[in-house]
Structure 1
Amino acid sequence: MKPIKNFIHHLNLNKVFLLMVLPGALWFLFFSYIPMFGAVIAFKDYRIGRDGFLASLMQSEWVGFKNFEYLFSTNDAYIITRNTILYNVVFIILGLVCAVAMAIILSEIVNKRLAKVYQTGMFLPHFLSWVIVGYFTFSFLSVDKGVLNQFLVWIGQDPVSWYSESKYWPYILVFLNLWKGIGYSSVVYLAAIVGIDKTYYEAAMIDGANKWQQIRHITIPSISTLMTILTLLAVGRIFYADFGLFYQIPRDSGPLYSVTNVIDTYVYRGLKVTGDISMSTAAGLYQSFVGFILVMTSNWIVRKFNKENALF
């Protein structure tokens, strides 16, 4: 009985804090943990029936790994896997560098009101949906009325059929991803930089350190733990692609599939055409499993060098 009494005592002591985390805990319970039971669909030939989800699930035929075989037996398996991984690697590296650089620049602006204006302007694209950004992009890249093509004609160049030329799109997608996400990412690093003890910089200035030396030896080491943790979390989603970026921005253009088709868009198109829920569930389970392995491996590597920077 004593352990139970101790447990109840701790609940009473921390009831205010537990109530604060309750909404978040319920969100994870209903949208992250309970849906995990649906992962069994990946191993069944699931067919929706009139008797409801559970009855249909129990009546569906068990097919083992056939859904995974279908996912990887297609000729597009290499392309979608390559695109998903390479794009995310570029997003992680450039996103980290640009977000940290922008946070440092904002922290060095003397006029704080002006810094807030810049920060707000950078943060605004994060709230725009990819559908809206897709229309903005189309206004620039449209063959007939696009701003870029009109400019090319004005300087005597031939217009470019942007939605048929795949060679330009890796750069367009990387640029738009950075433009939309850098403001949100930099806020986290900016908050960490603001929390650094100012006496470190005062001591460095007394020793004759210039601004670059202060950034190199004080700012970056002080936020290195946060950089490592966020990078580890990003590595865990390296097999997930931003569906809106790769579907809405290229406007589902067939000639661009070689550079814009990723796992998420491929599964969506397959589900839309065939209605195969089992195959899409298999793809989602595959992404989650690989992401878990990558997080555990990356965390293990980080612990070998510095335990304080690891997630756990």
Structure 2
Amino acid sequence: MSTFLKNLIKNRVMLLMVLPGAIWFFFFSYLPLVGTVAAFKQYRFSREGFWASLMKSEWVGWDNFKFLFSTNDAWLITRNTLFYNIAIIFLGLVFAVGLAILLSELINKRLAKLYQTGMFLPYFLSWVIVGYFVFSFLSMDRGMLNQIIGWFGFEPIQWYSEAKYWPYILIFVALWKTIGYNSIVYLASILGIDKSLYEAAMIDGASKWQQIRNITLPLLSPIITIMTLLAVGRIFYADFGLFYQVPRDSGTLYSVTNVIDTYVYRGLKTSGEIGMSTAAGLYQSVVGFVLVIISNYVVRKIDKDSSLF
């Protein structure tokens, strides 16, 4: 019996545990890679099915990419995508780590679990529901925020027509929805830190801030680096629900809410250009992959133990 079969039989239990995840990745991550060839074709659907249509479609090379970046909105959607992702990555990191530290310092652990559950719940809400929540606050006629503004004698604001407010609104909503979830990772890492380190620091007279600065944050740096590297890999992806459902697809807000994902969706909905949509997705994936490789290389040069691979 070969060594490969021996190892297969020896690790059969672990391999069976991995099998559902492997099947999922094969069908939803690896098998669709074949369809990326549509980015280089003038795809035309026929009754013969997707694959037959893909093979018979005309090869156009880089034309789909040229069309994507030759539009007047190319710079706008790229700028918006990068701006929002950089802001959400940075602020999300700061607030998630801060929240995890605060939760770990609570003496009443039952109360800490209650807070943790309450901040974790928004992550499970769909963007459609979140969009209606936001609308209940920002509605021109019956929005709670406009009612509060009216009580102070000010004129109501047409939130869905004023683009200048929406960068702040979108960033706030994104942080509100994801911070609780992200803080769980950091909280788990904090709870895994050896308590004797804090006890020794307390004996030496270290304040709580000194303990956080000299023990907690340095020991959290590897997981912070890994989470940031993973986030950088999706820096050219925008959360479609956040930028489409929350602003309610308001045309007057496109200057600040239009990102690559929403632009491609609207283009696909109106023109049906599958090739251009595939080209945009391929562009996002390749750029994200390159950014992860470069970022990980820089991290390895600084601290090898903190790198992703």
- The residue matched to 2:160 in structure 1 has which SS? coil
Q: What one-letter code is carried by the residue in structure 1 that aligns with 2:61? A: G
Q: Distance in 1 between matches of 2:208 and 2:187?
A: 17
- Give the aligned partner of residue 259 of structure 1: 256
Q: What one-letter code is carried by the residue in structure 1 that aligns with 2:145? A: L
- Give the aligned partner of residue 245 of structure 1: 242
Q: 2:64 aligns with which of 58, 67, 70?
A: 67
Q: Is 1:169 aligned with 2:166?
A: yes
Q: 2:121 aligns with which of 114, 120, 124?
A: 124
Q: Is 1:26 aligned with 2:51?
A: no
Output one character per residue of 1:20-50: Cα deviation in whole Å (capped at 9) or x when no partner: 1111111111100110010000000001111
- Give the aligned partner of residue 191 of structure 1: 188
- Give the aligned partner of residue 107 of structure 1: 104
Q: 1:210 aligns with which of 204, 207, 210?
A: 207
Q: 1:7 aligns with which of 4, 21, 27?
A: 4
Q: Distance in 2 between matches of 1:53 and 1:246?
A: 29
Q: Distance in 2 between matches of 1:118 and 1:163?
A: 32
- Give the aligned partner of residue 292 of structure 2: 295
Q: Distance in 1 between matches of 2:219 and 2:301?
A: 20
Shift of 1:58: 1.1
Shift of 1:85: 0.4
Q: What one-letter code is carried by the residue in structure 1 that aligns with 2:99? A: M
- Give the aligned partner of residue 141 of structure 2: 144
Q: 2:83 aligns with which of 83, 86, 107?
A: 86
Output one character per residue of 1:199-247: Cα deviation in whole Å (capped at 9) or x when no partner: 1111111111111111111111111100000100100000000000000
Q: Distance in 2 between matches of 1:183 and 1:26?
A: 30
Q: Is 1:225 aligned with 2:222?
A: yes
Shift of 1:198: 0.6
Q: What one-letter code is carried by the residue in structure 1 that aligns with 2:125? A: L
Q: How many residues align?
A: 309
Q: What one-letter code is carried by the residue in structure 1 that aligns with 2:87? A: V
Shift of 1:156: 0.5
Output one character per residue of 1:250-301: Cα deviation in whole Å (capped at 9) or x when no partner: 0000110000000000000000000111110000000000001100000011
Q: What one-letter code is carried by the residue in structure 2 that aligns with 1:298? A: S
- Give the aligned partner of residue 159 of structure 1: 156
Shift of 1:8: 1.3
CA RMSD of aligned residues (A): 0.7
Unmatched segments (≥5 aa) in structure 2? none
Q: Is 1:276 aligned with 2:255?
A: no
Q: Distance in 2 between matches of 1:64 and 1:214?
A: 58
- Give the aligned partner of residue 130 of structure 2: 133
Q: Distance in 2 between matches of 1:211 and 1:16?
A: 46
Q: Distance in 2 between matches of 1:197 and 1:151?
A: 48
Q: What one-letter code is carried by the residue in structure 2 that aligns with 1:211? A: K
Q: Distance in 2 between matches of 1:256 and 1:207?
A: 56
* Percentage of matched positions with identical amino acids: 70
Q: Is 1:35 aligned with 2:32?
A: yes
Unmatched segments (≥5 aa) in structure 1? none
- Give the aligned partner of residue 57 of structure 1: 54
Runs (4+) off by over 3 Å: none
